[in-house]
């Protein structure tokens, strides 16, 4: 298994989630309205899972710019709040498939995934 170069992302910002809500059509207040989210027992708004999946996709495309996705599956492991700095890590198991994970600065896993690529 070959470890891929980690990609360090800037901290997630609240405005990122508002923009993503507009782009995706997911206006669930848990992602954009702090006081509503606190009423539900969370410390702040929660990043959309698909927002994180987008960052994972971007990382895979950065690692393999001349490849296409054949399969991409993820599991969301923990919530992500604004201000959280994330690192995207990956491993290539064979020439065509591997794993990706997103972790915070404490090492808590936010997303894990599996991908298979095709050559162009």
What lies within 8 Å, CB to CB, of 39 at 6+ separation is: none
Whether 70 is covered by a domain: the verdict is yes
Whether 79 is covered by a domain: the verdict is yes
Domain that holds residue 98: 2-12+47-119
35 vs 91: CA distance, rounded Å: 39
Q: How does residue 119 score in pLDDT terms, banded at 50, 70 and 90?
A: confident
**How long a stretch of residues is the chain?**
120
What does the pLDDT look like over 31-66, one tens digit per residue? Answer: 999 999 999 999 999 999 999 999 999 999 999 999
Mean pLDDT for the stretch of residues 90-114: 96
**pLDDT at position 1, please?**
76
Q: What is the 3-state secondary structure (H, E, C) of 36-48?
A: HHHHCCCCCCCCC
**Token pair recorded at residue 105:** 């600065």
Domains contained in the chain, number: 1
What does the pLDDT look like over 69-89, one tens digit per residue? Answer: 899 999 999 999 999 999 999
């Amino acid at each position: 298994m070959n470890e891929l170069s980690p990609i360090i992302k800037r901290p997630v910002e609240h405005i990122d989630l508002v923009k993503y809500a507009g782009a995706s059509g997911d206006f669930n207040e848990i992602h954009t309205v702090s006081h509503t989210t606190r009423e539900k027992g969370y410390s702040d708004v929660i990043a959309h899972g698909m927002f994180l999946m987008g960052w994972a996709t971007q990382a895979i495309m950065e690692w393999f710019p001349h490849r296409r996705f054949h399969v991409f599956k993820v599991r969301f492991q923990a919530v992500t709040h604004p201000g959280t700095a994330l690192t995207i890590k990956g491993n290539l198991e064979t020439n065509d498939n591997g794993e990706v994970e997103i972790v915070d600065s404490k090492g808590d896993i936010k997303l894990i995934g599996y991908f298979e690529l095709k050559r162009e």
